[in-house]
A and B are shown apart, each in its own frame.
Chain A
Amino acid sequence: MRRAISATLALVMLFTMVLAGCGNTVDNANNSSAQTSSSTAGTEVKNEKAVFWTWLSTQQPAIDKYNSMQDEVKIELVQMSHTDIAQKLLIALASGTGAPDMFQQPQRTFSNISKTGKLMDMTPYIQDSINKFSPAVTGLLTYEGKIYGMAPDVSPGVIWYRKDVFEQNGIGEIKTWNEFLAAGEKLKEKGLYIMPVFNPAGTWGANEIAMFMQSRGGNFFTEDGKVIKNNTELEFTLNWFNDALKNGIAEGLTFFTPEFWGEFKASKIVAWPMNIAEGANIKKNAPELSGKWDVMPFPKWDDKTETLTGYWGGTAIAIPEMSPVKEKVVKYAQWLCTTNEGQQAMYTSWGSVPSNNEALKDSFFSKGDEYFSGSNPLEKINDVKPFYYYDFSKVEAIVGEQVDLMFSGKQDAAATARNIENSIASATGR
């Protein structure tokens, strides 16, 4: 009898397991979505829950605002690093289960996900607003003629600098990069650095090289994705960084470590040519220096006629095709990226630069920032030339390695540039 009871229990467990395994495929395909309010048969389902994976937890106010505006869907933010998102997402898309309803990724590596072919085609939702965005941005989110993501922001380069220290040392407005280097020499005599340099380089270094090269109108790839050989802009940029480090006007540091921020707080690093989003990072890590920092545009390269900047990148929002609420959550991306109201919510939430050029003209974006001596960083952005990010995670790894070899004195800038070109061509087949 006891054995029969035990065996029956085992059968019940087995039956439960089978039932769980053969559950509704829609629920299984997206375990993240669930109704949060009851609905009756025949009426429209309201307030469905949608999970949004992003590393930008500061986006919460924008989400709260959108949730309060409509009752179709309730978006819930789940924070994790963008590399974690990429990892989990690729597995979820491949296995057909466990994907979020919406996610955010850097634009520069977005193609790794869009080429899976398992994202929602967002073309119909952005078609009417396409002219509001730079083709350089929408191009990154397009795969085989379809747009798989929407860009809420971009992050161009500016120069953050200590206004008080510059004034004390008689350094005025910097109009060219040679003037920037001359100012660096002057500050070096006082034991100060005009910029930090990524050492080891890693992805941060690779992206800073890319940003500077873009500000010179340069690229790693041609528009159609071929590696540029004998790339003079790349060689120039590498040489510029190498000289700045070797001459001691820049300090080599691992970015965003306690030591790194310690040098800012100790007023040893007094300027930083970096993307606009890092302004929020400076404010957060050195709040006691409020009113001492200021911001200026990227200066002109002395051998160029145009004064440009480069993009650090920006973010993209996309939706897995398998999401059961994709038609509803896409409206959040549409609102955030294509409307003035959404772009303002984005700026208020995470302080990046609107990708929507029409929205940027709004007077809302003309306010100054007390921390940066009342200056408005958005007014310090130069024009930008397109930059082509093909297979960029591979490019980041290659550039990072070769720049480290250059900084360690194992090769000069010219050899570094040639090694980068050849390695990218070999690794990507481009």
Chain B
Amino acid sequence: MLRKVGQVTVAIKTMLNSKKVVPYIFLFPFIAFFLIFRLWPIVWSFLISFTSYFGGDITFIGIDNYIELFKDRVFWKSVGNTFYFVIIYNVIMIFVAIVMAVIVSSPKIRGRRIYRSIYFMPMAMMLPVVAIVFDLIFAKNIGLISSVFNVFGAELDVRWFGDMKLAMWGVIIMRVWRGVGYYCAYFLAGLAGISDDVYEAADIDGSGAITTFFKITLPLLKPMLMFVVIMSTILSFQIFDEPWILTQGGPANSTLTLQMYLYQTSFLDGNLSKGSAVAYIMTLFMMFFSIMYVKQLSEKE
């Protein structure tokens, strides 16, 4: 008996000292967590997108959820709104972030560190607080914008978040205000990586500020630019919090985004399977954009 126990102990010791086994023992907790908490929900939500599932019994219905979505006018409205937001927001945000980064990184600007901190501050603010402040800025009677017009004797009879044409712009302005400092930090890091020698050479060659920016700064900033574009596009596809707090998708669904449509379908209507189908369509959109960007980036490189 004792001999057998001894043999088992030796076998375990041998196994624990084996280079073939030990790495997998170390990796197992991560792999288990990854499979259970990452991969399985993705697979499971994909599977239930082909079923009718309200949290109770599951019935297989094939691609009916997808067909229903493609026939739904509100779904396409949310797709249109999301693309509109993603394009307009990213163009404005990236332009402003680059300009701000270039200005702040210039040695001619005094107090650059203070500006960097100020730019980053909106990110640190709680979203509900920001939403209340922006609601006040855009309000008709007590709003800051209306007050400015009043100072000049003009009356701005507009309630931004009640106007179908302006509501999304209100959301975009708020999101740009919040996000620009964050992406500005990326561009500052990118600018720091550009050698001063390049600028000195350009200076000796008589290059002006604008030529230097377009011929030197921007091309050398391209890897960081592509990274920011991909990150920002993926994140902006998931826009939810700002319009949900400010407008709840209104007026007339003019600020309803895909993520909000997903939320409404899954958790307000209780249709978890249709919500999963929306999630997968969103994923396809994001993958398409990401692959497109990455491909373009690798071609340029």
Chain A residues packing against B (C-beta within 8 Å)? 3-4, 6-8, 10-11, 13-14, 17, 83, 86-87, 90, 93-94, 109, 112-113, 115-118, 199-203, 252-254, 257-259, 262-263, 268, 391, 393-394, 397, 400-402, 404-405, 407-408
Residues A200 and B162 in contact, CB atoms below 8 Å apart: yes
Residues B252 and A397 in contact, CB atoms below 8 Å apart: no
Whether A11 contacts B25 in the complex (CB less than 8 A), given A115-B270, A257-B139, A393-B269, comes out as: yes
Segment with Cβ contacts to A, from B50-58, B81-89, B283-291 = B50-58
- List chain A residues, Cβ under 8 A from B247: 200, 202
Residues A86 and B268 in contact, CB atoms below 8 Å apart: yes
Q: Is B173 engaged at the interface, CB distance under 8 Å to the other chain?
A: no
Query: Which partner residue on chain A sits nearest B271 by CB separation?
Result: A112
- List chain A residues, Cβ under 8 A from B57: 117
Between B22, B53, B270, the greatest number of chain A beta carbons within 10 A of the residue's beta carbon is seen for B270
Q: Is B272 engaged at the interface, CB distance under 8 Å to the other chain?
A: yes
- The one of A116, A117, A393 in contact with B264, judged by C-beta atoms closer than 8 angstroms, is A393
- The one of A10, A11, A115 in contact with B56, judged by C-beta atoms closer than 8 angstroms, is A115
- List chain A residues, Cβ under 8 A from B16: 3-4, 7-8
Question: Taking the nearest CB of chain A, how far is it from the CB of B249, in angstroms?
Answer: 7
- The one of B29, B139, B249 in contact with A17, judged by C-beta atoms closer than 8 angstroms, is B29
- List chain A residues, Cβ under 8 A from B123: none
Complex Cα–Cα for A400 and B247 (A):
12
Question: Taking the nearest CB of chain A, how far is it from the CB of B245, in angstroms?
Answer: 11
- The one of A10, A115, A259 in contact with B142, judged by C-beta atoms closer than 8 angstroms, is A259
New A-B contacts (17) at CB < 8 Å, excluding given A14-B29, A402-B252: A10-B29, A17-B29, A87-B263, A87-B267, A94-B272, A113-B270, A115-B56, A199-B159, A200-B161, A252-B159, A258-B139, A259-B139, A259-B143, A263-B141, A401-B252, A405-B252, A407-B251
Residues A254 and B162 in contact, CB atoms below 8 Å apart: yes
Q: Is B140 engaged at the interface, CB distance under 8 Å to the other chain?
A: yes
- List chain A residues, Cβ under 8 A from B167: 200
Residues B22 and A13 in contact, CB atoms below 8 Å apart: no
Residues B55 and A116 in contact, CB atoms below 8 Å apart: yes
Question: Taking the nearest CB of chain A, how far is it from the CB of B19, in angstroms?
Answer: 9
Complex Cα–Cα for A113 and B267 (A):
10
Question: Taking the nearest CB of chain A, how far is it from the CB of B271, in angstroms?
Answer: 9
Whether A201 contacts B251 in the complex (CB less than 8 A), given A116-B54, A258-B132, A408-B164, comes out as: yes
Between B26, B29, B253, B269, the greatest number of chain A beta carbons within 10 A of the residue's beta carbon is seen for B269
Q: Is B95 engaged at the interface, CB distance under 8 Å to the other chain?
A: no
Complex Cα–Cα for A11 and B27 (A):
11
Complex Cα–Cα for A83 and B245 (A):
13
Complex Cα–Cα for A14 and B139 (A):
56
1/0 per residue B251-269: CB within 8 Å of A? 1111000000001101111
Question: Taking the nearest CB of chain B, how far is it from the CB of A270, in angstroms?
Answer: 15
- The one of A10, A257, A401 in contact with B25, judged by C-beta atoms closer than 8 angstroms, is A10
Whether A90 contacts B55 in the complex (CB less than 8 A), given A4-B16, A17-B29, A393-B264, comes out as: yes
- List chain B residues, Cβ under 8 A from A263: 141
- List chain B residues, Cβ under 8 A from A109: 268
Chain B residues 1 to 41 lying within 8 A of chain A, measured CB to CB, are: 13, 16-17, 21-22, 25-26, 28-29, 32
- List chain B residues, Cβ under 8 A from A13: 29
Residues A404 and B56 in contact, CB atoms below 8 Å apart: no
Chain B residues 92 to 147 lying within 8 A of chain A, measured CB to CB, are: 132, 135-136, 139-143
Complex Cα–Cα for A116 and B250 (A):
29
Residues B136 and A258 in contact, CB atoms below 8 Å apart: yes
Residues A200 and B252 in contact, CB atoms below 8 Å apart: yes
- The one of A83, A93, A202 in contact with B250, judged by C-beta atoms closer than 8 angstroms, is A202
Residues B162 and A199 in contact, CB atoms below 8 Å apart: yes
Whether A404 contacts B25 in the complex (CB less than 8 A), given A112-B269, A200-B250, A259-B139, comes out as: no
Whether A7 contacts B22 in the complex (CB less than 8 A), given A17-B32, A259-B143, comes out as: yes
Question: Taking the nearest CB of chain A, how far is it from the CB of B261, in angstroms?
Answer: 10
Residues A202 and B135 in contact, CB atoms below 8 Å apart: no
Question: Taking the nearest CB of chain A, how far is it from the CB of B155, in angstroms?
Answer: 14
- List chain A residues, Cβ under 8 A from B270: 86, 90, 112-113, 115-116, 393
- List chain A residues, Cβ under 8 A from B232: none
Question: Taking the nearest CB of chain B, how far is it from the CB of A265, in angstroms?
Answer: 11
Complex Cα–Cα for A414 and B49 (A):
37
Complex Cα–Cα for A362 and B49 (A):
52
Between B16, B136, B142, B252, the greatest number of chain A beta carbons within 10 A of the residue's beta carbon is seen for B252
Question: Taking the nearest CB of chain B, how far is it from the CB of A266, in angstroms?
Answer: 8
Chain B residues 29 to 83 lying within 8 A of chain A, measured CB to CB, are: 29, 32, 53-57, 74
Could you give 8 example pairs across A and B, Cβ below 8 Å?
A4-B13, A87-B266, A200-B252, A202-B248, A202-B250, A253-B159, A268-B141, A407-B251
Complex Cα–Cα for A118 and B16 (A):
47
Complex Cα–Cα for A237 and B162 (A):
21
- List chain B residues, Cβ under 8 A from A262: 141-142
Complex Cα–Cα for A408 and B164 (A):
8
Question: Taking the nearest CB of chain A, how far is it from the CB of B157, in angstroms?
Answer: 11
Question: Taking the nearest CB of chain A, how far is it from the CB of B34, in angstroms?
Answer: 13
- List chain B residues, Cβ under 8 A from A4: 13, 16-17
Complex Cα–Cα for A257 and B270 (A):
28
- The one of B25, B55, B132 in contact with A7, judged by C-beta atoms closer than 8 angstroms, is B25
Query: Which partner residue on chain A sits nearest B15 by CB separation?
Result: A7
Question: Taking the nearest CB of chain A, how far is it from the CB of B107, in angstroms?
Answer: 44
Between B21, B74, B162, the greatest number of chain A beta carbons within 10 A of the residue's beta carbon is seen for B162
Question: Taking the nearest CB of chain B, how far is it from the CB of A419, in angstroms?
Answer: 11
- List chain A residues, Cβ under 8 A from B264: 393, 397
- List chain A residues, Cβ under 8 A from B161: 200, 254
- The one of A14, A118, A259, A268 in contact with B135, judged by C-beta atoms closer than 8 angstroms, is A259
Question: Taking the nearest CB of chain B, how far is it from the CB of A109, in angstroms?
Answer: 7
Residues B162 and A252 in contact, CB atoms below 8 Å apart: yes
Residues A14 and B250 in contact, CB atoms below 8 Å apart: no
Complex Cα–Cα for A240 and B278 (A):
37
Residues A94 and B269 in contact, CB atoms below 8 Å apart: no
Complex Cα–Cα for A199 and B250 (A):
9
